[in-house]
Amino acid sequence: MLIEPTDSDIEANGVTFPEFNLNSDMAHPNMQVGLVFPNVQLYRKALRKHSVKNGFQLLFEKNESNRVTAKCKNLCGWRIYASFLGKSTSFQIKSIKGEPHRCHRDFRNRSANSTYLADRFLQNFVDDPHMTLNSFKKLVRREVNIYAHRQKLYRAKIKAIEAIQGNVKEQYNKLRYYCKQILKENPGSTAVVKVEGPPIYKNPTFQRIFILYEAQKRGFLLGCRPIIGLDACFLKGPYGGQLMAAIGRDGNNQMFH
């Protein structure tokens, strides 16, 4: 988790250093000697965004948890070094060589990987989750001057959709907890998960789930005709399947779910 910086600067050894502000500086990172980041993860993210914005590829000489050294892939002499600030977990830029950076722009910058593109255009997928790869490709060219491969765009789109909607595969692991909460919050309800595989199987395969709320039981027994119909639809997610619903008729001949 990223640590939100405060408005005050960090003081170390009697020297005051400028502090990177996640809210205002991330859109246009201005890398300068002495700049302090809350952690190494935020520093790496800002460094990659800086390289994409300025159109040059990074080559990491060292990329460790306590120090990061990177240079321009064109070997023009530009080089940046950052490490821990004293004994704290903050990360600080210690030196930059070759400023200003004057290499020609690289339109196939590998710093703009799928993770970067997913984060950069996350809001675009929030507004249009069905955006096609061709439209996404044009958007990337227009906004960040990058010619991205179709496979990279596809991976970025998947990551963005997962960030918005959650990972479908991981949600299956939460079904038992979901059923447990139903039984806790709605006493008298029925919630059962069936899986395939022997009882000792560590990674069972989901088969089906059945849920019947107590209010539905009571409503059907007290106000519906003793006839049950079934309605179903196909699930269009990556794992397919069907969603089935039991339907009854109440005293006013209205459908009761």
Q: Report the distance separating Cα 199 and Cα 194, nearest Å.
A: 11
Q: What's residue 188's pLDDT?
A: 93
* Rounded average pLDDT over 198-207: 73
Residue spans per domain, the chain: 1-104, 112-166, 170-256
Q: What's residue 165's pLDDT?
A: 84
* Rounded average pLDDT over 66-80: 91
Cα dist. 5→16, 85, 88 in Å?
A: 15, 15, 14
* Contact (Cβ atoms closer than 8 angstroms) between residue 111 and residue 52: yes
pLDDT in tens, 4-42: 333 344 444 556 788 998 888 888 888 999 999 999 999
pLDDT in tens, 141-182: 999 999 999 999 999 999 999 899 888 888 888 899 999 999
Q: What's residue 9's pLDDT?
A: 42
State if pTM tops 0.75.
Answer: no
Q: Report the distance separating Cα 70 and Cα 46, nearest Å.
A: 13
* Rounded average pLDDT over 126-138: 94
HSE-up of residue 220 (Cα within 13 Å, Cβ side): 16
* Rounded average pLDDT over 210-225: 91
Confidence of residue 201 (pLDDT cuts 50, 70, 90): low
Q: What's residue 215's pLDDT?
A: 92
Q: Is residue 82 within a helix (H) or strand (E), and if so which, with residue range? A: strand 79-84
Token pair for residue 36? 């302090």
Helix (H, G, I), strand (E, B) or coil at 140: helix
Token pair for residue 54? 């300025």
